Amino acid sequence: MAKNLMVLYGINSILERLRCDPASIRKIFIERSFTHREIEGLIKAHGVRCDTVSERDLKRITRAKDFQKIVAKVERFTYVNFDELMERPAKTTLVFLDGINDPHNVGVIMRMLACFGNFAMVLPERGACSVNDTVMHVASGGENYVQVARVDDLKAALAQARAIGYSVYAALPSDTARDLTHITFKFPLALVMGAEAHGISTDLLDEVDQQITIPMNGATLSFNVNNACAIICYEITKQRKAVS
């Protein structure tokens, strides 16, 4: 496959791409028994190239098991320059993901941020998952609604955000962190989420204004990073709406 193309697969992912950005689709491949009225209508309406192929042909394009009889070749995901994010309205909340390598977690977070709205994502260039085919599939179209920046240095990016007035919060499973239910967020804000195994890098905590934690009164376990991110972003959205 050409280096400038990615594979998008699954009904929801391709349907949302047809709705939002059909020009980015180079070609769609559907299995002979595939039927979906809206997808078929949008393919025709936008003049998207489409081939009807066998299931074996689809498996040659992607190794994914749940491609749902439809696969597309699309232009590579376009990252936004971090400086451009800094120029966006103050209502945009930045979510920094530190060292998260599981594409399913990144995809779920992207989908969740798309649902809440007015969030952007910041990823490190190294040591973390990029926006790949799996991320886009799990995001189910969320990549069309969430801008993502990749930066060489997360710490420097956090410092840059703080310098223009962003308050930085870090989510930690710690007894010393502030209880989320007692936090009044200061906007604009940036949220830092770390990988489940290693947490947030120590050097990043130097750029954090406040450490926060989700209260848990049940088993002594921990939330998956995407679950934790959803809970915190819900609270951010609620408070942001109250002050807007």
Rounded Cα distance, 109 and 223, in Å? 13
8 Å CB contact between 142 and 117: no
pLDDT of residue 89: 66
pLDDT of residue 56: 94
Rounded Cα distance, 223 and 197, in Å? 12
114 CB neighbour count, 10 Å cutoff: 18
Residue-range domain boundaries for the chain: 5-75, 82-243
The domain made up of 82-243 is a member of CATH 3.40.1280.10: yes
pLDDT tens digits, 43-72: 999 999 999 999 999 999 998 888 999 999
Q: Where are the beta strands (DSSP E) in the chain?
A: 5-9, 25-31, 50-53, 70-75, 93-98, 119-124, 148-151, 167-171, 178-179, 189-194, 210-213
pLDDT tens digits, 14-46: 999 999 999 999 999 999 999 999 999 999 999
Q: Residues in the chain, how many?
A: 244
pLDDT at 211 over 70: yes
Q: How confident is the model at residue 220 (pLDDT cuts 50, 70, 90)?
A: low
Q: Which residues face 190 on adjacent strands?
A: 94, 168
Mean pLDDT of 196-221: 88
In which element (H, E) is residue 64 found?
none
Rounded Cα distance, 187 and 105, in Å? 26
pLDDT of residue 65: 84
pLDDT tens digits, 120-172: 999 999 989 999 999 999 999 999 999 999 999 999 999 999 999 999 999 99
pLDDT at 13 over 90: yes
Output the CATH code of domain 5-75.
Answer: 3.30.1330.30
**pTM listed for this prediction:** 0.95
Query: Please, what is the average pLDDT of the chain?
Result: 94
8 Å CB contact between 182 and 85: no
DSSP for 132-201, written as a single string:
-HHHHHHHTTGGGT--EEEES-HHHHHHHHHHTT-EEEEE---TTSEEGGG----SSEEEEEEBTTTBS-
pLDDT tens digits, 81-121: 999 998 876 779 999 999 999 999 999 999 999 999 999 99
Phi, psi of 83, deg, nearest 5: -60, -35
